[in-house]
Amino acid sequence: MSKKIFLRTFGCQMNDRDSEFVMGLLLEKGYLKAESPEEADVVLFNTCSVRKHAEDRAISNMGAFLKKKRRHLKIYGIIGCSAQALKKGLFERLPDLDLICGTGEIAKLPELIVKAFQEKIIAVGNINRPLPELKSTYRQGKKSTHVSIMRGCDNFCSYCVVPYVRGRERSRKAEDITSEIKDLVRRGIKDIMLLGQNVNSYKDKTCNFVELLKLVNDVKGIEKITFFTSHPKDATVKLFEAIRDLDKVRKHLHLPLQSGSNRILKLMNRGYTREKYLDLVTRAKHIIPGLFLGTDMIVGFPSESDKDFNDTLDLVKKVRFDGAYIFKYSPRAGTGAAGMKDEVSEDTKKRRHRTLLDLQREISKRKKHEKADRCHASHSLSR
């Protein structure tokens, strides 16, 4: 009888896409999809280690399942970023775990699972190996989906674990990406999101990211294109012009700010200043009418003072983002910032998080009203 697989995903869109890839591989090998962990023979958690809270939640959820484990009848595995970051330390935290599979080994999961029915398995090899072709027949979405265009990151922002768990930046060939998208169109998908840790530094022998966007825009049958995520130091006027001019590309830009303080941006190794950021988004708004601008911000980075935080509030008021993800800093082992002294207290982080969230909510609300008023005015004029 076919074995059943249950796969839960934590974290970002990159993980969602990896999980689809893994599910596709296993379905091709004859597994069936289980709707709950209880009915599954193999329970996998695809984990995120970008924030401590998300990592702890995945491990403690897995721990709760393992308490109910009937030995040898089921395989429980942790795959993805936390598997890569914590390696065999996961067996120490979860002694009944059967399988640990890092980000560079997910293409081998079908064989690893077979072995895990016999013995404990750990596979956390070379994270920089050439890209496994993350193509698989399985897609969760019927009309929209994600397409990975690259993996890894070379930026080494001092708070971020990604270069250590997903490896150095590797771009897929443009022709492989467009052929995957044509195949998706044949299956009825019309809306795609191009994914990479820093899509703006995408580089194939024949094209850069702006050229790739043009190639994808030319694929017949695709109706909407989004991309995620951009790095301010690599975003250019040419990119903004492409967003404006390419008819299928959504007028949407996610440009993580992280902090509005030049001192903190330097400690974060972000490669831009608040002045450069402001200049960049001013140009983007000017070039792309109706632009929806999103961002990410971190509060409580080591040594962040009231002045640094006020600089962030000030820049947020100047930029007026449409939306923002705001996080409290948590140290990640092995990163540059993990060794930095002068931890900001938990209370201060909470207070700053609340203040920034309230400010951003107010700005988002006002911008929505302004947009609605503009729409209303243009309808009235056209009557």
101 close to 77: Cβ distance less than 8 angstroms: yes
Does 181 contact ligand SF4 by CB under 6 A?
Answer: no
| Residue 10 CB, nearest approach to ligand SF4 (Å) | 17
| Radius of gyration of the chain, Cα coordinates, nearest whole angstrom | 22
Contacts of 368 (CB under 8 A, 6+ apart): none
Q: Considering only residues 155, 171, 261, 360, which one is a binding residue for ligand SF4 as defined by CB under 6 A?
A: 155
Q: Give which of 257, 232, 258 is closest to 328, Cα–Cα.
A: 258
Q: Which CB atom, from 153 or from 174, has the smaller least distance to ligand SF4?
A: 153
Q: What is the spatial distance between Cα 323 and Cα 252, in angstroms, rounded to a whole number? A: 11
Q: Which CB atom, from 74 or from 172, has the smaller least distance to ligand SF4?
A: 172
Strand intervals (E) in the chain: 4-9, 32-33, 42-47, 75-80, 99-101, 121-123, 144-148, 150-151, 170-171, 191-195, 224-228, 252-254, 292-299, 323-328
End-to-end CA distance of the chain: 65
Stretch of 157-165, 237-245, 247-255, 325-333 lying at the interface with ligand SF4 (CB under 6 A): 157-165
Q: What are 22's two structure tokens? A: 């893994």
Does 197 contact ligand SF4 by CB under 6 A?
Answer: yes
Query: CA-based diameter of the chain, in Å?
Result: 73
Q: Considering only residues 43, 100, 157, 280, which one is a binding residue for ligand SF4 as defined by CB under 6 A?
A: 157
Q: Which CB atom, from 7 or from 153, has the smaller least distance to ligand SF4?
A: 153
Q: Which CB atom, from 110 or from 271, has the smaller least distance to ligand SF4?
A: 271
Stretch of 92-100, 133-141, 148-156, 317-325 lying at the interface with ligand SF4 (CB under 6 A): 148-156
Q: Which CB atom, from 62 or from 155, has the smaller least distance to ligand SF4?
A: 155
Q: Which CB atom, from 62 or from 153, has the smaller least distance to ligand SF4?
A: 153
Q: Which CB atom, from 44 or from 268, has the smaller least distance to ligand SF4?
A: 268
Stretch of 14-22, 159-167, 179-187, 239-247 lying at the interface with ligand SF4 (CB under 6 A): 159-167
Q: Strand, helix or coil at 35?
A: coil
Q: What is the spatial distance between Cα 157 and Cα 331, in angstroms, rounded to a whole number? A: 12
User: What secondary structure does DSSP assign to 188-238, as a single string?
Assistant: T--EEEEE-TTGGG-B-SS-BHHHHHHHHHTSTT--EEEEE---GGG--HH
Half-sphere exposure (Cβ direction) of 31: Cα atoms closer than 13 Å? 25
Does 162 contact ligand SF4 by CB under 6 A?
Answer: yes
Stretch of 106-114, 149-157, 277-285, 319-327 lying at the interface with ligand SF4 (CB under 6 A): 149-157
| Residue 199 CB, nearest approach to ligand SF4 (Å) | 11
Q: Give which of 169, 53, 86, 72 is closest to 120, Cα–Cα.
A: 72
226 close to 141: Cβ distance less than 8 angstroms: no
Does 325 contact ligand SF4 by CB under 6 A?
Answer: no
Stretch of 83-91, 111-119, 139-147, 151-159 lying at the interface with ligand SF4 (CB under 6 A): 151-159
Stretch of 15-23, 85-93, 155-163, 278-286 lying at the interface with ligand SF4 (CB under 6 A): 155-163
232 close to 255: Cβ distance less than 8 angstroms: yes
Q: Which CB atom, from 145 or from 201, has the smaller least distance to ligand SF4?
A: 201
Does 156 contact ligand SF4 by CB under 6 A?
Answer: yes
Q: Give which of 184, 187, 255 is closest to 216, Cα–Cα.
A: 184
- Which region, left, alpha or beta, applies to residue 99 given φ > 0 means left and ψ of -120 to 50 means alpha? beta
Does 153 contact ligand SF4 by CB under 6 A?
Answer: yes
Q: What is the spatial distance between Cα 300 and Cα 310, in angstroms, rounded to a whole number? A: 12
Does 47 contact ligand SF4 by CB under 6 A?
Answer: no
Q: Considering only residues 49, 198, 230, 312, which one is a binding residue for ligand SF4 as defined by CB under 6 A?
A: 198
Q: Which CB atom, from 37 or from 152, has the smaller least distance to ligand SF4?
A: 152
Q: Considering only residues 90, 106, 160, 324, which one is a binding residue for ligand SF4 as defined by CB under 6 A?
A: 160
Does 267 contact ligand SF4 by CB under 6 A?
Answer: no
Q: Which CB atom, from 157 or from 212, has the smaller least distance to ligand SF4?
A: 157
* Binding positions for ligand SF4, rule: CB under 6 A: 153, 155-157, 160, 162-163, 197-198, 231
